Structure 1
């Protein structure tokens, strides 16, 4: 066990000494290698999407435990939760009018939980809310997402406004975690339950991204045609990839901290 820890520590130190371009290259190679592995060990790639939703639910469960048992919301971003509620509400509406299925029920449950988290932070645990650290201006992401959705949206036969709403929730979901990352960067120290929650989001995003990429490969590109024409199919994949890379750096430090036996995650400057 000690030998494994020494090996991991040596590998970690080597990666940290590399310039940013090398780190980015290693991250891309690692991601591609994981995709290849998933393609061979997971026969039905739809299961990856189910796994992503399951991991996301696990992350929310950790968040609920933190709020109910520890009676504190320190380190959590109210703005991230509000952005999450916005894109979930819009996606739930789109799901009802465009493609009602099992995911509609899952989104409804997630939205209800997110609204409960917002209520707890705003009212029940307001005294522990780090408002001064949660200083990300959400209009920096809401307005660009709305403008982008206005010009790049699905080309299906659905109502135009519904298609714009659909695109908006896809774009907003990709960046909804940014305020949470900003809070963690401002505090530099992330307590365990918040770290577990954000890491779960990172894993869920990677699995969701893997699902879309492998589905495109399996269909030999036909899935992109089914999503519509123009820039929209590419933007769906780009949004998934953006979500994954936004959280990639944090996940790296989380794993490093876990293997190092540290309960509290300390982030260096410039991680997010």
Structure 2
């Protein structure tokens, strides 16, 4: 069900994608962006939207699915294949072993899910994986000393999107009967908590008008 918190969360998520694409396409740079995180997000959306051609909910829902699917694979392509953009990729610092996150999330989805149907397991897997997909990006930001404004805004919008979705769940809990989704809630809470340290330093840099820098 759509409400102001969910719509704001969707728009904030969309803003994060637009900011990242603006940086990559306009400036022709992916400096400070983790390819590992982008690959995890591509896998998240691929697993989550398996029903895109079989389960029509609304035109809005379908458009948003297409945007997030298309943009995630486009970003990965830019970083891996674009002749100019890939030169700025910080491979030396983006060394988080992100594939080690995939298997535990998939096993957890097999063990803990709401229904043991294939699409439901893949949906649950996407929730678990999205909760930790930002880790390579946060580690990269801690290692690098060059956090530009667009990169900082990208991560901020990603964190704000999840925080707004928590507000959406709280709102729906009090306005819809029998609305309980523990897997979604716990995964979203874990994901939001991972941003807590970043938010602290982001707001401090904004308040003091200094360059954003995370402690190593």
> When the two structures are superposed, what TM-score results if normalisation uses the length of structure 2?
0.92
Map of 1:8 onto structure 2: none
Map of 2:112 onto structure 1: 152
Map of 1:251 onto structure 2: 199
Deviation at 1:97, TM superposition (A): 3.9
Deviation at 1:100, TM superposition (A): 3.6
Map of 2:69 onto structure 1: 111
Residues paired across the two proteins, number = 213
Partner Cα separation in structure 2 for residue 217 and residue 249 of structure 1: 29
Equivalent position to 1:140, from 86, 100, 123: 100
1:73 and 1:129 in contact (8 A); partners too: yes
Pick closer, same or farther for the CA change 1:134–1:174 going to 2, 3 Å. Answer: same
Partner Cα separation in structure 2 for residue 260 and residue 54 of structure 1: 27
Equivalent position to 2:155, from 198, 203, 227: 198
Deviation at 1:98, TM superposition (A): 4.8
> When the two structures are superposed, what TM-score results if normalisation uses the length of structure 1?
0.74
Pick closer, same or farther for the CA change 1:148–1:98 going to 2, 3 Å. Answer: farther
Partner Cα separation in structure 2 for residue 104 and residue 82 of structure 1: 22
Map of 1:238 onto structure 2: 186
Extract unaligned runs of 5+ from structure 1: 1-43, 225-232
Deviation at 1:71, TM superposition (A): 1.5
Map of 2:7 onto structure 1: 50
Deviation at 1:251, TM superposition (A): 1.2
Partner Cα separation in structure 2 for residue 66 and residue 183 of structure 1: 17
Q: Secondary structure at the match of 2:179?
A: helix
Partner Cα separation in structure 2 for residue 131 and residue 80 of structure 1: 13
- Using CA pairs below 8 Å that are at least 6 residues apart, which structure has the higher relative contact order? 2
Map of 2:39 onto structure 1: 82
Partner Cα separation in structure 2 for residue 151 and residue 122 of structure 1: 34
Equivalent position to 2:80, from 122, 143, 158: 122
Listed as ranges, the matches of 1:140-219 within 5 Å are: 140-155=100-115, 160-219=117-176
